A and B are shown apart, each in its own frame.
Chain A
Amino acid sequence: MSFTFVKLAETRLTSNTATVTFSGISQSYTDLQLVISGKLNNAAQQTGFYIWYNGVNTTTYSDTFMQGAGTAVGSGRETNNVAAITVQTPSNATSPSSIFGNAEVYIPNYANSSNFKTWLASGVTENNSNTAYQNITAGLWRSTAAITSISVSSFGNGDWLTSSSFTLYGISNTI
C-alpha cells in the first residue's frame, strides 16, 4: 500500500547548530514539505533564515516576499543570491525562552530535472511584546537539478537553538 504524505526525516536539536541539512532525499515523491519549529541565537528581534539545495551556494537563488509586522506591511526581493531568504524566526534576544516560530516550505516537483525549482514558504512569529512577523515568500533556484539535499541556516546571523525541530515530508500524487 502506498502512502501519500510520508515523514522522510526529522531533526531535533540537542545543541545549538549553525546549519541543518537533510541529504540523500528520496526521489520517489512528487513534492516535499519542510516544517520547522525554530529559534535563532541572535541579538536582533527577528532573523530570517535561508534555504539552499544540493550544497550549491552560487548566485542562482532569488525570492519575492511579503510580510506584516504588527504595525506595518512590506514586500521585498532578493536576486542573484547564494541562497534564498525564506521567513523570519524569533531570536533569543527578545523572545522568552519558550517561544519558537513556525515555518513551512512547500517544494513542488522537486525531483523534476527539466525545470528550475520553485517553492512557497510561510512563517509566523509572535511574542506578545516585541515586533513579530508573518511572511509569505516565493523562491526560485535557477537549476534544473533534482533536489537531493536541503540546508537551512541564518547564514552567519546565529545558530539554530537547542530544541528547534525540522521535519521533512514527501508527498506523492500516485493514486
Chain B
Amino acid sequence: MPAQSTYDCIATQTLGSNTGTITFSSIPQTYTDLVLVAYTRDAGTNSSPFVSPMAMRLNSDSGSNYSNTHMYGNGSSMFSSRETNSNFPTVGQLVTSSAGANIFGMQHIHFLGYSNTSRQKTILTRSAADSNGQGWSWQSVAYWRNTAGINTILLSGGIGGFATGSQFSLYGITAA
C-alpha cells in the first residue's frame, strides 16, 4: 500500500452474488475518520414501500451497546425515530428488488474519530433510495458506547441480503 495521504481507499468489495452481510476487518488505526460509501440493493422483495433496513455492528460487538436517532422522509411525510440499547442498529434504507430492475440506492457513512480510544463513537449516515414513486431520504446518527478503536465494520442487508452488484468502499481520512 502506498504512503498514506489525506484521503485513501482502504478496501473495497463488489458482490458477485447475493450476500447477507459484508465485513471490513483489520482496519488500520492510522487515520482520523473513516467514510464508507455503499451502493446497494436488497436482493429480497417486499410490499410497498420498496425499502428495507440496513444494520451495522462494530468490532463484532453484539451487545446492546448501540443507539441512534433518525430522521427520514418518504415522499409524503417526514418522520423521526430512535433506537436505544440496540444490538444491531439501523443505519440506512436499501432499495429492494420489488422496486424494479437496475435500481440501486446509496449510503454515505462517516465514522468520526474512529481510532480515538478516549471517546465513544459517533457515526453519521445519509441514505438515498428512490424508485420513481417510492423511496426514502434518510439521515441518522448512531452512537456506540465503546471507546475502542473501530477495527471491524459489519453491514447487514435487510430482507434478502445485499444483491449482486452492490459495492462497498472504505476510505480513510487523515486530519494531519
Does A74 make an interface contact (CB < 8 A)?
Answer: yes
A136 close to B12 (CB less than 8 A): no
Please choose the segment from B18-26, B100-108, B153-161 that sits at the chain A interface, where 4 or more of its residues have CB less than 8 A away.
Answer: B100-108
Q: Shortest Cβ distance from B93 into chain A, in angstroms?
A: 9
A144 close to B102 (CB less than 8 A): yes
Q: Shortest Cβ distance from A100 into chain B, in angstroms?
A: 22
Does B143 make an interface contact (CB < 8 A)?
Answer: no
Does B74 make an interface contact (CB < 8 A)?
Answer: yes
B128 close to A174 (CB less than 8 A): no
User: CB within 8 A of A138: which of B5, B78, B137, B169?
Assistant: B137
C-alpha spacing A30/B38, complex, angstroms:
12
Q: Shortest Cβ distance from B74 into chain A, in angstroms?
A: 6
B132-154 with Cβ < 8 A to chain A: 132-139
Count B interface residues, CB 8 Å: 44
B9 close to A173 (CB less than 8 A): yes
Q: Shortest Cβ distance from B43 into chain A, in angstroms?
A: 14
C-alpha spacing A74/B78, complex, angstroms:
5
Does A25 make an interface contact (CB < 8 A)?
Answer: no
Chain B 66-103 per-residue mask, 1 if CB under 8 angstroms from chain A, else 0: 00000111111110000000000000000000000011
A136 close to B139 (CB less than 8 A): yes
A64 close to B37 (CB less than 8 A): no
A138 close to B2 (CB less than 8 A): no
For B73, list chain A residues within 8 Å (CB).
64-67, 74-76, 136
Does B115 make an interface contact (CB < 8 A)?
Answer: no
C-alpha spacing A5/B129, complex, angstroms:
24
A139 close to B9 (CB less than 8 A): no
10 nearest CB pairs, A to B: A75-B73, A66-B73, A77-B75, A138-B128, A120-B128, A62-B132, A64-B135, A173-B169, A5-B7, A138-B130
**What are 20 contact pairs spanning A and B, CB under 8 A?**
A5-B7, A62-B130, A64-B135, A66-B71, A66-B78, A74-B73, A74-B78, A75-B76, A76-B75, A77-B76, A80-B132, A108-B167, A115-B103, A118-B130, A120-B128, A138-B130, A140-B103, A171-B37, A173-B9, A173-B12
Chain B residues proximal to chain A, CB less than 8 Å: 1-2, 5-12, 37, 39, 71-78, 102-106, 108, 126-139, 165, 167, 169, 171
Chain A residues proximal to chain B, CB less than 8 Å: 1, 3-5, 30-31, 62-67, 73-77, 79-80, 106, 108-109, 114-116, 118-122, 136-140, 142, 144, 171-175
